[in-house]
Structure 1
Amino acid sequence: MRISKFLIAWGIIALLMTSCKQVVREIDLSGEWEVALDSMDKGISGKWYMESFPDKITLPGTLCDAGYGTPCTLEPTMDKEIFLNLKRKFDYLGPAWYKKECFIPAEWNEKDVFLTLERVIWNSQVWINGTKVEGFNESLTTPHYFNLSKYLVPGENNKIVIRIDNRRQHDISVKNLAHAYTNDTQTMWNGILGKIALTAKDKVQIEELRLTPDIDNQTVNVSVKIGSNGSSPVSGKLLFAVKDPKGNKLADKEVQVNNTEITFTYPINNPMLWDEFTPNIYEATATLETEGMTDSKCEIFGMRKLTNQNALLQINNRR
């Protein structure tokens, strides 16, 4: 009996210590993937999404890290011209294909399943079991997301094929000067960095949690956007919880849900302000309970006000 109470107590402590924990079901896709370079850009017409590739790569990672591409022939000398033209050890510009098999749990049958690719340059497309996933992603700065719900087969192994094209998709520079796409800054690598995962969520879910601080009124304005694949109206409740920068839990707020968009204000009494010298961070968690479904989303925010006076930037009324 004592052991059971001890285990229960430690379980409660572990839950309390979990920071910004989302209510999600997730499969981590990091690890070994098959890889093929498509320098002639024949992969789509050649249906490479149906093929297996003999070469391997570890993701997250880049082709350069794995030693794929054209080797750099420059000598590592202390020379101004070398410093002005940074080069990767292995250079590759063009499409590359990445393939992995993944078992999808049978209980994901009624879920929405999303693929997250946290960091990609520049264009990404996905095939599941040989079928093209609708759409594509183009971003140099934000994660790439794909909704795979219509394509995955729960209870079976599924073939995931991703095509990454790091060639210039749009002209965003002047004289090849653009911080997000130059070899002189972060290099024009090909691969996938950061989080690579499948996430299963209920059909009713929090799509967006937007927090706007208002230090004059000591509040934060909360905007929640709810996504639903059903035709019936969304109804239920939303629990909004906040921890201050010291980890203290503030009072919870419960809001009734009758629509797909909810807005309300949450009081932050005597807020600890954020600036570059005291970067105080609050943590907010919104938990949605509706129609037997639950979803949670967590965001961080700082209590601060940005203004300008006589063309001078101010933060919290201070230049």
Structure 2
Amino acid sequence: MRSGRSTPSTDSARPRPGSARRVTRRVRGAAVAAVLALAPAALGTPALRAPALASQSPVPASPRPADLGAPDPTADQAAVVRDPHGPREPSDTQVRNVDGTNVVFSYGEVTPAFDGWSRHEPTRHYLSLDRPWRFRYDPADQGGTEGWQRPSLDDSGWDTIAVPSSWDLHDNDGWAGYDGADFGKGGALRDGYAWYRTTVDVPASWRDTHVRLAFLAASYSADVWVDGRWVGKHEGGNTAFALPVRDALRPGERATIAVRVYRRASYTNYDGSGEQVADDHALPPGVVDYWPYAGLTRSVWLEAVPATTVAKVLLDTRDATLDARVVVENHSRQDFHGFVRVDPGRGSNGRPMRVRVDVPAGGVAVPRTTIPIPHAPRWSVERPKVLTARATLVGLDDGPALDTLTATYGVRDIAVDGSRLELDGRPLFLKGVNWHEETDRGGRSMTKAEYDHELANATELGANLLRNAVYNRHPYAYDWADRNGVLLMDEWDTMWVGTVSQQLQAESYGLSRALALATAWNNHNHPSVILWGLQNESTIDPDGAPVYRAWLTQMKDAVKAVDLSDRPVTWASSSSWDPAFDLADVVGFNEYFGYFYGTNEDLGPTLDAVHRNHPDKPILITENGTWSLPGQHGPPTEAGTEEWQAANFRAHWDQVTARPWVAGYTFWLLKDYKQRAGYNEEYNALSTMGMLAWDGQTRRLVFDAFRDARPPR
């Protein structure tokens, strides 16, 4: 996928930092021959991408520091703690058809809107838990048996940690630069379990409400207790979740919340000799080449809603109407009868509508209304007009609001017409950039100011697409894209998933489907989201790809079942001849001609061959790029110079834009990024493929080259 990565296979040898050898990808333990895409026309079909180089760096590896073991010298580094799994993923995420609308449920309830991190409804109560928590590593997994979840536990001797934050940066002053001597400081290599504890005074006024505990992310998985009572577990390190906790709380009293967070180790040890650690249930199941930040990395809060509540509002616009589906959930023991009023919002030029709703005790109903908005402003890249609708739940007397929920939306249509991707009926060319969500100051726990600074570079570059490569982003990133007219390709954690894991996920465990459903449900109303990306560079099984196709089909069906807008699906394939491209609405693949294999000039013939195979589908380059060391200059033929990186980009861009049936190009990537894949530790584990250096400010020449590149007319 990217410069200097090890392969997704768990049975291939781990590359040494700084080495330049190739690593052969393996499937089911058998080596697959690398077919270099040097002459696609002669081969008859586009060729399989060759394996990646094990390191982007031409310089020898720096010696490893001597103190890179776990900070706790008593921890047994030979024993890798593993998180147990049940027969199915723990949230029990599923789709149920309610009144003609598919509704996503998790933990036995409707998966709610997660706007409470920033927007507070007047009919609800919120308690933010973003603050210092008590914190303790648990390398031997002893906390559960020793009662670390109990309210009576004396945790005064524990450390403290900010929530949200990434424990990788806990007691770590070596995250900012490229100095390999800083690799592994603080919590960067602390895997297994760690515990978080805090207390909260629950207001007495919450007695007649329904209370949930919401997390925007807990990485990688989390078990949660309230006053010593286990209330649930979540798996998936970048996806929001909410646990019903009303029965575990005593309004008017103090409650103790304990969270045990788990991170899977990447290797059995990090001294360069460790073996890769894999878990076929997990996503991703093995080593990946981004940094798997650990902890309560995003906001946490308690939210008390009325017993009968508006859990979610689904909005879709087409044919000059707003289609509003209001998901009403009744947590009480009495049937509810009333109305839902839907206001399409100021500036929509539509009038509020009222619809009857009847919800049985303990049940769910989805009243629907269509509101004419013939003169509503369109949402576009040039004029990103965001509207705000409000759903209000009232009784039969049409009196005061019992509950409200607002939701933003935009009026736009995204569609595929033959080999064209269209926005509002006009051909759309995607000038895209991949990005990772992290900074040298906060890891994956970014502030709004950091998002604004980092993402402003996309608008300066003239990019109209950001690919949320391989995991969900913080809700603020979607709001930012809506407001700034930047399109999104949205994804979840299905990176480098092998055949065994694909089969396990599709046939029984179901985590990939659960994350797909959560992504489409949570981000449904954002006009900026135009593509669902099903996976990144996962294994294509060698026996006609039946497992691979079944796995992709399951995720495609999941997002299509939820998405009223019917957004196109694609994925970032490792192969230009992917045997499942017939399932995609947009053919997407990663290519690194002239870097990992072949020459820059091989891209054009490969694109032509892909188009011959799929003449009725748009083609999107989901990744392409090379690397350079910041400030290293020389001729454009010299690998590692900024001139070489920029020249390679121009060569690929020119070939892409010369073909009208190519819908876009997505550069890898906006900024240098951290990874734990076992290479570039001499650069503090930083991959240097960005247009910007790790500080988010220092520009390489390719930044200017990309900014000046003109899309086809």
Q: 1:108-153: per-residue Cα shift (whole Å, max 9, x none)?
A: 11111111111221212211111111x3112333212111100011
Which structure 2 residues correspond to residues 143-222 of structure 1 after superposition, within 5 A? 143-167=240-264, 170-173=281-284, 176-177=287-288, 182=289, 184=290, 187-214=291-318, 217-222=319-324
In 2 relative to 1, CA 163–74 (structure 1 residues): closer, same or farther, beyond 3 Å? same
1:100 counterpart residue number:
198
Which structure 2 residues correspond to residues 133-148 of structure 1 after superposition, within 5 A? 133=231, 135-148=232-245
2:343 counterpart residue number:
241
* CA distance in structure 1 between the aligned counterparts of 2:119 and 2:375, rounded to whole angstroms: 23
Q: 1:193-221: per-residue Cα shift (whole Å, max 9, x none)?
A: 3321111111101122101111xx20011
Q: Secondary structure at the match of 1:206?
A: strand
1:273 counterpart residue number:
378
Q: 1:220-241: per-residue Cα shift (whole Å, max 9, x none)?
A: 1111111112344321121212
Q: What is the letter of the counterpart of residue 27 of structure 1? A: L
2:159 counterpart residue number:
55
* CA distance in structure 1 between the aligned counterparts of 2:325 and 2:309, rounded to whole angstroms: 14
- Unaligned runs of 5+ residues in structure 1 are 1-18
Q: Secondary structure at the match of 2:393?
A: strand
2:411 counterpart residue number:
303
In 2 relative to 1, CA 211–100 (structure 1 residues): closer, same or farther, beyond 3 Å? same
* CA distance in structure 1 between the aligned counterparts of 2:175 and 2:372, rounded to whole angstroms: 60
Q: How many residues align?
A: 280
Task: Give the superposition deviation at 1:43.
Answer: 1.8
TM-score with structure 1 length normalisation?
Answer: 0.78
- Contact persistence 1:64–1:89 (CA under 8 A): yes
In 2 relative to 1, CA 99–174 (structure 1 residues): closer, same or farther, beyond 3 Å? closer
1:313 counterpart residue number:
421
- Contact persistence 1:202–1:294 (CA under 8 A): yes
Q: Secondary structure at the match of 1:258?
A: strand
- Contact persistence 1:120–1:193 (CA under 8 A): yes
Task: Give the superposition deviation at 1:46.
Answer: 2.5
Q: What is the letter of the counterpart of residue 263 of structure 1? A: R
Q: Secondary structure at the match of 1:278?
A: coil
- Contact persistence 1:138–1:144 (CA under 8 A): no
1:288 corresponds to 2:371 = no
Task: Give the superposition deviation at 1:249.
Answer: 7.5
- Unaligned runs of 5+ residues in structure 2 are 1-117, 265-277, 360-364, 428-713
* CA distance in structure 1 between the aligned counterparts of 2:415 and 2:224, rounded to whole angstroms: 43
Q: Secondary structure at the match of 2:207?
A: helix
In 2 relative to 1, CA 99–206 (structure 1 residues): closer, same or farther, beyond 3 Å? same
* CA distance in structure 2 between the aligned counterparts of 1:165 and 1:48, rounded to whole angstroms: 15
1:16 counterpart residue number:
none
* CA distance in structure 2 between the aligned counterparts of 1:102 and 1:220, rounded to whole angstroms: 41
In 2 relative to 1, CA 89–159 (structure 1 residues): closer, same or farther, beyond 3 Å? closer
* CA distance in structure 2 between the aligned counterparts of 1:75 and 1:20, rounded to whole angstroms: 36
1:11 counterpart residue number:
none
Structure 2 counterpart of 1:90, from 177, 181, 187: 187
* CA distance in structure 2 between the aligned counterparts of 1:288 and 1:158, rounded to whole angstroms: 30
1:14 counterpart residue number:
none
Moved more, 223-232 or 30-39: 223-232
* CA distance in structure 2 between the aligned counterparts of 1:144 and 1:20, rounded to whole angstroms: 17
2:17 counterpart residue number:
none
Pairwise CA RMSD: 2.8
- Contact persistence 2:219–2:295 (CA under 8 A): yes
Question: What percentage of residue pairs aligned between the two structures are identical?
Answer: 21
* CA distance in structure 2 between the aligned counterparts of 1:145 and 1:249, rounded to whole angstroms: 35
Q: Secondary structure at the match of 1:136?
A: strand
Q: What is the letter of the counterpart of residue 145 of structure 2? A: S
Moved more, 273-282 or 218-227: 273-282
Q: Secondary structure at the match of 1:265?
A: strand
